[in-house]
Structure 1
Amino acid sequence: MRRLFTALTLATLAAPAIATAQPLRQQVDAWRKQHEREILDEAFALFAIPNVASNPADIAKNVVFLTQAFAKRGVPLVPLRAASGGSPALFGELKAPGATRTVVFYAHFDGQPVAGGGWDHDPFTPKLNRYRNSAPTDDVPLPAPGDTVDPEVRIRARSASDDKGPIVAMLSALDAMKALGKQRSVNVKFFLEGEEEAGSNHLAEILRTNKDKLAADAWLFFDGPVHVSGAPQIVLGVRGVMGAEVTFYGANRALHSGHYGNWAPNPAVSAAHFVASLRDRDGRVLIPGFYTDVPAVSDEDTSLARALSTTDDSVRTSLGLSRTEADNAALGERIMQPALNLRGIRAGNVGSGASNAVPTSASVSIDFRLVPDQQPARIRRLLEAHLAQQGYTIVRDPNAATKSADRGRLAYVTYDSGYTAVRVPSATASVQAVKRVMARSYGREPFTLPILGGSLPLFHFVEQLGATVITVPTVNADNSQHAPNENLRIGNLWDGIALMTELMTTLGKEWGPRS
């Protein structure tokens, strides 16, 4: 008996050494498989809290939940507020003995409205579903404690992917590290924004007021989707954005089209000609001077962008498109360029609501996507010069049109605040270190996206903190963010947990000490 006991004891003592020898991803996956139900229960509890960015009561409930959830992991969160108002951001930190590098993990906990229909259930009652062609099909029950769930199953709920899913991954990564006895190799700070979907209007003030507290070697943004193929990708920048609304006027009352149709100016026709003057059919912006500040795309960026476009044909097929603009140009290359999008035109009525009348006004809504060096203020000047060249007088007050003797030559123009593009060089040491950690965690090299097609207010972090900002997406590309049936693929959540564990544990070693 004694010899058997000794043998069993030695085997038991040796077991942790065998487990420790496994790659960290395998260790995290093994831990996670035993705790999937617990992870999903916490995710469901967070996703069930309404978080519409414009509703302070919603935001306050999320603040309470997240403060308690991080406190359970030994991370006290404190609210950071702007004196001018707005929702708070939540900040916490964990220091690592001997670490010389500090990174900030960013996500946002506010979300988009759900009004307008399209959901077949309460968007804040999370469900597990199978999906086919980006649409939910069968319901799936939660796994029993200790059981696992098919990674292709998805959590369907508002903000599951944008952007509460990554927060769940942060919490679970902290649990995994504790369970596995892993130590952080970097100091980690957490910054959870509470008004990203409302325009981040108070973010600059929060950052400026708390500059010392938020000092770091790099910010890692866990927002946005992985590559459309499902492969991991690291994003080095985002395009800037600026929206504009232009209203044209006709007579001060609707006119019979038979009596006045080819005599009174038609503002809908004015709007159509204006839109046609803005861009050609292949997306080139026609506003004079628009490309003056656009830098040439480097050979390296062109190569990186083309590597992203290996799935373009399948994406076209999935979207029901036989061709795309600029003679089927590579998507990766196209998002390296600035763009002008027509968001909508409003004039008169169509279909059963149509009448034989000349409308009194017509409005055009556009958004510009900007690349580094392009400034929203200059784009506004160019747009107004373009309107003036076409013979319009710019007005700032919509009531001015009612007082004018020449309504047909007025253009009422409004803008959103807009913001500039941000880009970090691919050779930056922090970028290369993050790529190596990602490659080890995913088991494959991530795509490098020089600049994201969409826009995020990253410029605030650069302007206020001088921050190096690296975007590390974790959620699935077909997540329907901002739309009905928003979802998070379970396998992407598992990947996020493993990646964040790996980043906290090994990034400092890959990066090296600060000199």
Structure 2
Amino acid sequence: MRRTLLAALLVAPFSLATAQPLRPQVDAWRKAHEREILDEAFAMLAIPNVASNQDDIAKNVVFLTNAFAQRGVALTPLRAPTGGSPALFGELRAPGATRTVVFYAHYDGQPVAGGSWDVEPFAPQLSRYRNSVAVEPVSLPARGDTVDPNVRIRARSASDDKGPIVAMLAALDAMKALRKQASVNIKFFLEGEEEAGSNHLGDILRTHKEKLTADAWLFFDGPVHVSGAPQLVLGVRGVMGAELTFYGPNRALHSGHYGNWAPNPAVSVATFIASIRDNDGRIRLPGFYDDVPAPSAADRALARAVSATDDSVRASLGLARTEADNAALGERIMQPALNIRGIRAGNVGGGASNAVPTSASVSIDFRLVPNQQPARIRSLLEQHLTQQGYTITRDPTVSARSTDRSRLVLVQYDSGYTAVRVASETPSVQAVKRLMTRSYGREPFTLPILGGSLPLFHFVEQLGATVITVPTVNADNSQHAPNENLRVGNLWDGIALMTELMTGLGKEWPASRM
């Protein structure tokens, strides 16, 4: 009996009733050091980080290595034998810790070419916003002064995903200043090609598997709830993208002479789109939903809670209605989706000409839920094209030699990856949820699956990892778009939360020991 009671006491969670939030102390420290935090953030954001530019990636590696070294964390580049940008790995061991947790973020960013930025993408500045639009610049605070938390940092990767790295660094500073010890062994993993498809990530994880052993991975990527409330995410959808090119005559033809005679590839694209997706987003590929599980009652309840602000989101986007008769957003992102990313055929406006174009292209992406495999989606897509009478090619030069261009379609894919989901009752998930509640002063929304996609499957397949996504940045951050931004208040939230997680997880989620 005594043995059973002792074991129960050792594994019992640290009670929220007795635990005191660390946030007031962290906030007090941060208010005295806002200028220093912002200076470091600006220095990091000023370094271009497009994943395809290895010279710039190398500069980011140097900056991050120095920044973490100043906090006593030695970062080591982890490389794949097949090449690619390195991931950066560091470790902070805690005396007596029985758990090891990895903090993940990525330091590479999206391209900026061709975007209509109001400022230079890698010249960060503070701006005041109104209705998600920058209205005036704001000066950096003097040392010891504070800045309005609603002001935003505008720069590429401010929110996706250097902002969380800034929060990690500041959390380490706060712990040192407040003399707080980590309660778990902390490993840092900073990926260098997430925005380029993570093509070498699987090889990195496989090659360095022993270093990366952990009880859980915390992914600091993606936005909080659109209302500004905290959000805990249990999984992400998978993704599979494709580019299709349809062909017409081998030279442009006058539409008056040939317009209702020569096959028009723009019409082929439009007909193809209508054949695979209806106006309410249902995917028409035969057999597509055969491996899509029905959401559980618990998941539907979580989705409805997340969707409480749908009406205000519609209004902010200028939409009187949304698809499927104003279906709840939380429920929709638990289902697979097909997005039309872009269509190209001829010209419009002043560049339009009365001609039948020679080719037309469409770019699409599927968002996948657990159990769906990219390879099967590719097979279903090609079966559908074949049934429509098309000959599929992977060779873009074939069209020049084809004697029946109008029945030819060039299909090219990205690599794609599967969805990942962790159960809400998992002890690590519940521990993170309690600490988020303590830090934010309110319980976070729990989202069964994130609408966007992250390559989490690599961590599950290669490491058997438990992956929990903990977003910290504002929802209207324009990630992947011009004028990407990070609300300063969200950065402050991230610093407080990471400090709470680093110091509290070992108490909330102790390992069972006799």
| TM-score normalized with structure 2 length | 0.95
The 5 A counterparts of 1:93-242 are 93-242=91-240
After superposition, the C-alpha distances for 1:447-476 in whole angstroms (9 at most, x for unaligned) are 001000010111111111111100000011
The 5 A counterparts of 1:485-496 are 485-496=483-494
After superposition, the C-alpha distances for 1:369-388 in whole angstroms (9 at most, x for unaligned) are 00000000000000010011
- TM superposition shift of 1:486: 1.0
Equivalent position of 2:436 in the other structure:
438
After superposition, the C-alpha distances for 1:86-110 in whole angstroms (9 at most, x for unaligned) are 1111000011111111000000111
Separation in structure 2 between the aligned mates of residue 351 and residue 381 of structure 1, nearest angstrom: 38
% same residue: 83
Separation in structure 2 between the aligned mates of residue 177 and residue 277 of structure 1, nearest angstrom: 57
Of 369, 377, 380, 1:379 maps to 377
Separation in structure 2 between the aligned mates of residue 147 and residue 352 of structure 1, nearest angstrom: 53
Residues 1:482 and 2:480 aligned together: yes
After superposition, the C-alpha distances for 1:232-259 in whole angstroms (9 at most, x for unaligned) are 0011110000111111111211112222
The one-letter code sitting in structure 1 at the alignment partner of 2:355 is A
Separation in structure 2 between the aligned mates of residue 205 and residue 384 of structure 1, nearest angstrom: 29
Which SS does the other structure have where 1:57 is aligned? helix
Equivalent position of 2:339 in the other structure:
341
Of 266, 275, 278, 2:276 maps to 278
Q: Contact 1:372 / 1:423 at 8 angstroms: preserved in 2? A: yes
The 5 A counterparts of 1:18-29 are 23-29=21-27
After superposition, the C-alpha distances for 1:241-282 in whole angstroms (9 at most, x for unaligned) are 011111111121111222222222111111111110011110
Equivalent position of 1:262 in the other structure:
260
The 5 A counterparts of 1:420-499 are 420-499=418-497
- TM superposition shift of 1:120: 2.3
Residues 1:39 and 2:70 aligned together: no
Separation in structure 2 between the aligned mates of residue 357 and residue 128 of structure 1, nearest angstrom: 48
Going from structure 1 to structure 2, the CA distance change for 1:202 and 1:514 (only over 3 Å counts) comes to farther
Runs of 5+ consecutive residues of structure 2 not aligned to the other structure: 1-18
The one-letter code sitting in structure 2 at the alignment partner of 1:130 is R
Separation in structure 2 between the aligned mates of residue 408 and residue 118 of structure 1, nearest angstrom: 36
Separation in structure 2 between the aligned mates of residue 360 and residue 487 of structure 1, nearest angstrom: 40
The one-letter code sitting in structure 2 at the alignment partner of 1:486 is E
Equivalent position of 2:297 in the other structure:
299
The one-letter code sitting in structure 1 at the alignment partner of 2:505 is L
Equivalent position of 1:415 in the other structure:
413
- TM superposition shift of 1:351: 1.6
Separation in structure 1 between the aligned mates of residue 462 and residue 407 of structure 2, nearest angstrom: 42
Separation in structure 1 between the aligned mates of residue 359 and residue 119 of structure 2, nearest angstrom: 39
Equivalent position of 1:248 in the other structure:
246
The one-letter code sitting in structure 2 at the alignment partner of 1:458 is L
Residues 1:315 and 2:310 aligned together: no
The one-letter code sitting in structure 2 at the alignment partner of 1:358 is V
Q: Contact 1:185 / 1:508 at 8 angstroms: preserved in 2? A: yes
Q: Contact 1:101 / 1:514 at 8 angstroms: preserved in 2? A: no
Of 81, 84, 91, 1:83 maps to 81
Equivalent position of 1:398 in the other structure:
396
- TM superposition shift of 1:201: 1.0
Equivalent position of 1:68 in the other structure:
66
- TM superposition shift of 1:283: 0.4
Q: Which has the larger radius of gyration?
A: 1
The worse-fitting range, judged by mean Cα deviation, of 255-264 and 39-48 is 255-264
- TM superposition shift of 1:363: 1.1
After superposition, the C-alpha distances for 1:383-402 in whole angstroms (9 at most, x for unaligned) are 01001111111112122222
The worse-fitting range, judged by mean Cα deviation, of 78-87 and 323-332 is 78-87
Separation in structure 2 between the aligned mates of residue 320 and residue 513 of structure 1, nearest angstrom: 50
- TM superposition shift of 1:324: 0.3
Instruction: Count residues in correspondence.
Output: 496
The one-letter code sitting in structure 2 at the alignment partner of 1:324 is T
Separation in structure 2 between the aligned mates of residue 288 and residue 42 of structure 1, nearest angstrom: 53
Separation in structure 2 between the aligned mates of residue 514 and residue 367 of structure 1, nearest angstrom: 44
Separation in structure 2 between the aligned mates of residue 100 and residue 365 of structure 1, nearest angstrom: 48
The one-letter code sitting in structure 1 at the alignment partner of 2:42 is F
Equivalent position of 1:508 in the other structure:
506
Q: Contact 2:115 / 2:481 at 8 angstroms: preserved in 1? A: no
Runs of 5+ consecutive residues of structure 1 not aligned to the other structure: 1-20
Going from structure 1 to structure 2, the CA distance change for 1:514 and 1:51 (only over 3 Å counts) comes to farther
The one-letter code sitting in structure 1 at the alignment partner of 2:303 is A
Which SS does the other structure have where 1:147 is aligned? coil
- TM superposition shift of 1:227: 0.3
Equivalent position of 2:53 in the other structure:
55
Which SS does the other structure have where 1:121 is aligned? coil
Separation in structure 1 between the aligned mates of residue 77 and residue 399 of structure 2, nearest angstrom: 46
Separation in structure 2 between the aligned mates of residue 332 and residue 22 of structure 1, nearest angstrom: 33
CA RMSD of aligned residues (A): 1.2
Separation in structure 1 between the aligned mates of residue 152 and residue 410 of structure 2, nearest angstrom: 45
The one-letter code sitting in structure 2 at the alignment partner of 1:476 is N
Which SS does the other structure have where 1:311 is aligned? helix
After superposition, the C-alpha distances for 1:96-153 in whole angstroms (9 at most, x for unaligned) are 1111110000001111111114222222111111001111112111111111111111
Which SS does the other structure have where 1:215 is aligned? coil
| TM-score normalized with structure 1 length | 0.95
Separation in structure 2 between the aligned mates of residue 116 and residue 359 of structure 1, nearest angstrom: 25
